[in-house]
Amino acid sequence: MLLRPLRVVLMLAISITPLRTLASTPTRTFDLAPRAACTTVSPDPPGFLEGEQINWSAGFYEPGLGACGIVNTEDDFIVAMSHIVYDAYPGFTGTNCNPICNRPITVAFQGKSVQVTVTDDCLVCGSNEMQLSPAAFAQLADLSEGLIQVDWSWAD
């Protein structure tokens, strides 16, 4: 229950933060309410980003409690997918477990590749962007590179 103090602090912070500030801050309301982790793996919806996706930007970030309700660390092989992709994923209503959760993708960069699982959305990402865990990014490039151009495809 490491998360509980964080949640309380977050709620306190929000109660003293003007609404206007909140609206412009990419705060995930998801984090504010306890919710069961998404555990199922949904089948690939035909026609959604099928085939090799070329030249996406991939950075890395510090994972925590992700949008799928799953807590990850920097050592997990996970990806925070662009919120534009995450939100548009077929079957996602905004409140249910997003069917994108737990789907594996293979990310390739200059002859190297790594398989990661989608467990989070990336709120600061554009449409062709994602953020990997540090462990996954390190399989492709040195962390000092910061941002790399990758290709990816669903791995299931």
Ligand X SMILES: *[C@@H]1O[C@H](CO)[C@@H](O)[C@H](O)[C@H]1NC(C)=O
Query: Rule CB under 6 A: is residue 149 a binding residue for ligand X?
Result: yes
Q: Return the H-helix or E-strand segment holding 105.
A: strand 104-109
3-state secondary structure of 52: coil
Instruction: Give the residue with the Cβ less far from ligand X, 57 or 115.
Output: 57
* 17 interacts with ligand X by CB under 6 A: no
Contact at 8 Å (CB) between 58 and 131? yes
Which one, 76 or 129, has the nearer CB to ligand X?
Answer: 129
**Alpha-carbon gap, residue 105 to 92, rounded angstroms:** 18
Q: Return d(Cα 19, Cα 137) in angstroms, integer.
A: 36
Residue 79, classed as helix, strand or coil, is strand
Q: Which of 24, 40, 55, 93 binds ligand X (CB under 6 A)?
A: 55
| Residue 110 within binding range of ligand X, rule CB under 6 A | no
Contacts with ligand X by CB under 6 A: the residue count is 3
Whichever of 27 and 128 has its CB closer to ligand X, that residue is: 128
Minimum gap (Å) between residue 113 Cβ and ligand X: 18
The residue among 5 and 51 lying less far from ligand X, judged by its C-beta, is 51
Shortest Cβ 97–ligand X spacing (Å): 31
Residue 132's DSSP bridge partners are 60, 79
Q: Please state, in angstroms and rounded to a whole number, the distance separating the CA atoms of residues 45 and 55.
A: 22
Name the site residues for ligand X (rule: CB under 6 A).
55, 57, 149
